[in-house]
Amino acid sequence: MKMNTPNYFRYIIYVGSVLLLGLWACEERMDINTEASPPRLVIYGSITTDTTQHAIRITRSAGYFSTSKPEGISRASVSIRHEGGTFALEESPGEPGLYLTSPNVSGIEGETYTLHVALDFDGNGETEEFEATSGLPFASRLDSVAVQPFIAFDNFLQVVIWGHLPESGDGHNYFSFHLYRNNVLVNDSLRGFSTGNDDFIAGNEITAFPVFFLNQERDQYKLSPGDTVTIQVESITREYASFIENARSESFGSIPIFSGPPANVETNIRSQSPTSTVAISGFFTAYSKSRMAMIYRE
Amino acid sequence: MNGKRWVALAAWLLLWSAWSLPAQERNITVSGNIRDGSNGEDLIGASIMVEGTRNGTVSNPYGFYSLSLPKGKYVLVASYIGYRKKEIPVELSAGLKLNINLEPDTKELEEVVISAEGRNANVSKAEMSVEKLSAKAIKSVPALMGEVDVIKAIQLLPGVQSTSEGSSGFSVRGGGQDQNLILLDEAAVYSASHLMGFFSVFNNDAIKDVTLYKGDIPASFGGRLSSLLDIRTKDGNNQRYAATGGIGLISSRLTVEGPLGGKASAIVSARRTYADLFLKLSSNPRASQSTLYFYDMNAKVNYRIDDNNRVFLAGYFGRDKFGATTLMGMDFGNKTLTARWNHIFSPKLFSNFTLIGSFYDYYLKSEVSEQLGQELKSGLEDYGLKADFHYMPNPVHNLKFGYNFIFHGFHPGDGGGIGQDAVVGRISLPKEYAMENVLYIANETNLGDKLKLKYGLRYTGFENLDNGSVTYHRQQLDPRAGATFLFNDVHSVKASYSRTTQFIQLASNSTSGSPLDLWFQASESVKPQKCDQFGLGYFRNFAANEYELSAELYYKDMKDVVDFKDHAQLMLNEDLEQELRFGRGYSYGLELMLRKTSGAFNGWVSYTLSKSMRQINEINGGDWYKSPYDRPHNISAVASYELSPKWSVSANWVYANGAPVTYPTGRFQVEGNYVPIYSGRNEYRYPAYHRLDLSGTWKLSAPGSRFKHELNFSLYNAYGRKNAWTILFRQEEDNPDVSYAEKVYLFTFVPSITWNFSF
């Protein structure tokens, strides 16, 4: 398993450019006038191998400079079907637009899941239907995890994993990684998402692969002896990896030296009506999880 | 017109030129070189006229001229801006070899002369959309951090603009930066920038002549869609040993030149920045451990074998070194080599044979740990051969023809983990090769005193090679044509048409250009880009050619222009062609320019009104969108004034509409962060760009002294305009539901001081 090399070198260029530009660049908040785009239907959610309440969030997009939270869309009919049946999702009574399965639902590796949503988005009295499909990749197997000093920078620790890649049908595996400290998620945002793939590696062994670098000078990442460190490796689809990479990149903004033109992040949600004019954003995916925990000792 | 007809037309042109050959029997030819008498440098574009007539010619890029006249007595007048005019009485009864040395005008020598060529060349020459800048004019333009830069000076010309703040990338008439063919002594320079694009690779001390063709590109050149920037370096002083140099805030430079025996001369010019020395003083450990510098060197030697044979060997070597701490870094650079042989077959037939090598590569390395160590290298190489002939049978015809061969080698990428413990795999993309075989012919014809016609044809046979076999073959004919009507010596109209074709393209996921961009070739699925450009111009000189006024209209129709799909992955991509998108585009504009070419006060004011659009099916929903270089209003004012024998001052001011930009107009939430929903491609603009730069030069040496030295003070962005380099969109940390725009700007009030010397 490896980090994505092009992304890695983009990171080097980014660091270099920041250093170079740091000599001259200044930043200043400014006002720009843009016309808010018409609202889009946003559907985002997943089903995983955990046995839990899986969530689909349905919202209406807002103008970029809106200051309110996304407006949830109620009264949608939401379900997820697979070869073995269909799960109906119910809207959370406390949070409009959040639709949940029952707590005993879990995804199965290798199966294909289809999200179905029916709602009247534009208020014209007609219900429109939307669907998205995702396979659920096989999970990686984690054998062990360790926290080690990171030689390059004294103030960093690295979290390293050993294990085995899943046997994937098309020979490509994509991953995302999450880190919990005492069962609290550390990289809890899109910008903290860590992804990788195995494009250029033969075999299926994960050997001393560093997945996180923790700056011990920042409270957010600081480990203390006795802390429980849990690594979660998610086997994700190529499409979801691409969605996350692009969404994360767009959320940062573009730097002329190493960014192409900004572009909307592609969704896999499709309207079932060929005449629909509803613009859609978001993503539905299925993924598997593997976890391993350790107690950190200095 | 199909290919056969073009071939027939070319044959007819050649025959027509040959038809006039009998006339030469009645004419006597005077030929030779026109040179700078102070250092022996050949003068390019110097004028030689028969006094009292419009008969005459100009020296070619090697300083050679040939003029055929009926037997008789004449007074030949040789002139070049910045030099004393020379009148030479001749009696032509037999062929005459006449080398002419022009002496610099000591008064004008102290002044800045904007353009280096004959005095009314802009009006009378059968070419338009061409800009020439003298090295002295380039030097007079206030420079960022005191680094005199030919490309920054070119960006002040009408129809030319920078691709982003401080960048040495440039766009010509709405074209992309990869659509400019940049030649240094005839070798293509693929990445013309240092320090991530903020400085160009050209050392002004080594430059003799700079010509930018914005359209109406001669048939002898091609391969890029938008422009040709032809840079020729000095040959080296063959009169005496001389040195020029300077010490500035970020770099120092030194040029040494002189004669080698009686027949040869040489020049070596080098410079190096030392920004990294300042980094070491930084309290930030990351900055203090970093490396950041570039160096480059130009070297040239020439040897005059005899009156009819001369050889040149020229080279450029430059490199950027850049390390963010000691753990990661990159370096990149160009190398060019040119070997030329000028041979005069007869007083009417001049030839030049050139062997060319051009190389570019970059290397990235990271050694953050044994497991994560990675490297990446990529590059390209060109090997070329040129045979150019210039035949001047009589005053009516001026025929150029030749052959050009280029072999391209592309190394798209080889990289991955370093060492046995690397957790990173390796990937090596296959090398790719291509060949271009070019034949061209072009003729200039004078129809009487007032009308000059120009017509030419360029044939390119392009072959994409894989393991020695041709996988793609394309034959392309590019016609070129133009006409000049001289109302009188100071007043003309011109029209031109040119087709240009580009067989190799740049894969760039960067709006300002990056040293890591890749070049790739045309293939079955990547058609070459084509452009048909039409131009119409009016040219008027005033006050004994001291003032030049020009107005040019152009229209460009582009086909198979290349863009990239959204979120394209260009680096180490085995399937690069899947990332490409193809479409069409157009640009049109009006360029107005008034310039004062000499005198104590000189400079120019230019205004460009233009539009540049693209349409690609898979981008922007297939709707037309503004090209990244569409900036409708563009104004440049450049002025230099000789206050006294000791002091001169310069200023330039630029204004342009902001570059097109795609702004977020909506947002949705993913994993706690907002992701933008964008407007149509390039639907908005950055705020308008404007900037004033100032400089002053204090001459420290006494007039006439051999050792000359001066201090140059410059102030870039004198009124501190915070021009947007980019605009980022953020979420407030304390209130993540509030998004805001943040402008990133560079270079406000950048003062610098440079000490220059020569002896």
Asked whether the predicted pLDDT for residue A162 surpasses 70, the reply is yes
* Model confidence band, residue B563 (pLDDT cutoffs 50, 70, 90): confident
Q: In this complex, is the C-beta atom of B578 within 8 Å of any C-beta atom belonging to chain A?
A: no
SS3 for B287?
Answer: helix
ipTM above 0.90, yes or no: yes
Q: Distance, in angstroms, between A244 CA and closest chain B CA?
A: 9
Residue in A135, A120, A146 with CA at minimum distance from that of residue A211: A146
Chain A partners within 8 Å of B322 (Cβ): 16, 20
Asked whether the predicted pLDDT for residue B479 surpasses 80, the reply is yes
| Tokens 């030099």, located at residue | B83
3-state helix, strand, coil in chain A (%, to 5): 10, 45, 45
Q: In this complex, is the C-beta atom of A256 within 8 Å of any C-beta atom belonging to chain B?
A: yes
* Residues B466, B432: Cα–Cα separation, whole Å: 7
Residue of A nearest to B285 (CA): A153
Q: Each residue of B356-387: pLDDT tens digit? A: 999 999 998 887 777 778 888 999 999 999 99
Q: How many A-B residue pairs are in contact by the CB < 8 A criterion?
A: 278
Asked whether the predicted pLDDT for residue B259 surpasses 90, the reply is yes
pLDDT the model gives residue B374? 83
DSSP B579-620: GEEEEEEEEEEEEEEEEE-SSSEEEEEEEEEEEEEEEETTSG
Chain A partners within 8 Å of B162 (Cβ): none
pLDDT the model gives residue B328? 77
**For an interface test with B, which of A8, A157, A161 has the most B Cβ atoms less than 10 Å from its Cβ?**
A8
Poorest-pLDDT segment among A37-41, A77-81, B458-462, B611-615: A37-41
What mean pLDDT is predicted for residues A203-212? 79
Give the helix/strand (H/E) hosting B15: helix B3-19
Q: In this complex, is the C-beta atom of A250 within 8 Å of any C-beta atom belonging to chain B?
A: yes
* Model confidence band, residue A4 (pLDDT cutoffs 50, 70, 90): very low
Q: Where are the beta strands (DSSP E) in chain A?
A: 26-30, 41-48, 55-60, 62-63, 71-72, 77-82, 85-91, 98-100, 112-119, 128-135, 141-149, 156-164, 174-181, 184-185, 194-197, 205-215, 228-236, 270-271, 280-295
Chain B partners within 8 Å of A260 (Cβ): 509-511, 564, 567-568
> In sequence order, what are the beta bridge partners of B291?
B323
Q: In this complex, is the C-beta atom of A203 within 8 Å of any C-beta atom belonging to chain B?
A: no
* Residues A266, B722: Cα–Cα separation, whole Å: 34
pLDDT the model gives residue A18? 60
Q: Which residue would you say has higher pLDDT here, B275 or A211?
A: A211
pLDDT the model gives residue B19? 53
Q: Distance, in angstroms, between B722 CA and closest chain A CA?
A: 9
Chain B partners within 8 Å of A65 (Cβ): 739-740
SS3 for B17?
Answer: helix
Contact check, Cβ <8 Å, A9/B415: yes
Q: In this complex, is the C-beta atom of B280 within 8 Å of any C-beta atom belonging to chain A?
A: no
Asked whether the predicted pLDDT for residue A163 surpasses 50, the reply is yes
Chain A partners within 8 Å of B280 (Cβ): none
Q: Distance, in angstroms, between A14 CA and closest chain B CA?
A: 10
Q: Which residues contact A4 (CB under 8 A, 6 or more apart)?
A: A195, A196, A197, A199
Residue in B655, B550, B561, B654 with CA at minimum distance from that of residue B612: B561
Q: In this complex, is the C-beta atom of B371 within 8 Å of any C-beta atom belonging to chain A?
A: yes
| Tokens 């030469």, located at residue | B24
Q: Each residue of B137-175: pLDDT tens digit? A: 888 888 888 888 899 999 999 999 988 887 888 999 999
Q: Distance, in angstroms, between A277 CA and closest chain B CA?
A: 14
* Model confidence band, residue B14 (pLDDT cutoffs 50, 70, 90): low
* Model confidence band, residue B329 (pLDDT cutoffs 50, 70, 90): confident
Nearest neighbour of B729 by CB, restricted to A10, A202, A253: A253
* Residues B484, A30: Cα–Cα separation, whole Å: 51
* Model confidence band, residue A3 (pLDDT cutoffs 50, 70, 90): very low
Poorest-pLDDT segment among A11-25, A129-143, B472-486: A11-25
Poorest-pLDDT segment among A33-42, A160-169, B595-604: A160-169
Asked whether the predicted pLDDT for residue A213 surpasses 80, the reply is yes
pLDDT the model gives residue B687? 94
Q: Distance, in angstroms, between B416 CA and closest chain A CA?
A: 7
Asked whether the predicted pLDDT for residue B312 surpasses 50, the reply is yes
Q: Which residue would you say has higher pLDDT here, B113 or B239?
A: B239
* Residues B103, A251: Cα–Cα separation, whole Å: 63
Contact check, Cβ <8 Å, A2/B747: no
Q: In this complex, is the C-beta atom of A64 within 8 Å of any C-beta atom belonging to chain B?
A: yes
* Model confidence band, residue A11 (pLDDT cutoffs 50, 70, 90): low
Asked whether the predicted pLDDT for residue B580 surpasses 50, the reply is yes
Q: Each residue of B652-681: pLDDT tens digit? A: 999 999 999 999 999 999 998 899 999 999
What percent of chain B has a predicted confidence (pLDDT) above 70?
93
Chain B partners within 8 Å of A264 (Cβ): 566, 676-678
pLDDT the model gives residue A203? 64
Q: In this complex, is the C-beta atom of B362 within 8 Å of any C-beta atom belonging to chain A?
A: no
Q: Kindly tell me the burial class for residue A94, based on how many C-beta atoms sit within 10 Å of its own C-beta (0-12, 13-18, 19 or more).
A: exposed
Q: In this complex, is the C-beta atom of A24 within 8 Å of any C-beta atom belonging to chain B?
A: yes
Mean pLDDT estimate for chain B: 88
Chain B partners within 8 Å of A280 (Cβ): none
pLDDT the model gives residue B700? 93
Mean pLDDT estimate for chain A: 86
Residue of A nearest to B742 (CA): A29
pLDDT the model gives residue B24? 47
Q: In this complex, is the C-beta atom of B418 within 8 Å of any C-beta atom belonging to chain A?
A: no
Asked whether the predicted pLDDT for residue B2 surpasses 60, the reply is no
* Residues B64, B76: Cα–Cα separation, whole Å: 15
Q: Each residue of B47-95: pLDDT tens digit? A: 888 887 778 888 888 899 998 888 889 999 888 877 888 899 988 888 8
pLDDT the model gives residue B512? 62
**In this structure, are residues B330 and A12 in contact, taking their beta carbons and an 8 Å threshold?**
yes
Per-residue CA distances from B491 to B10, B122, B486, B488 (Å): 31, 10, 6, 5
* Residues B330, B385: Cα–Cα separation, whole Å: 32
Q: In this complex, is the C-beta atom of A187 within 8 Å of any C-beta atom belonging to chain B?
A: no
Contact check, Cβ <8 Å, A209/B423: yes
Q: Each residue of B166-224: pLDDT tens digit? A: 788 899 999 988 999 999 999 999 988 888 778 889 999 999 989 999 999 999 999 99
Chain B partners within 8 Å of A266 (Cβ): 566-567
pLDDT the model gives residue A270? 96
What mean pLDDT is predicted for residues B99-107? 81
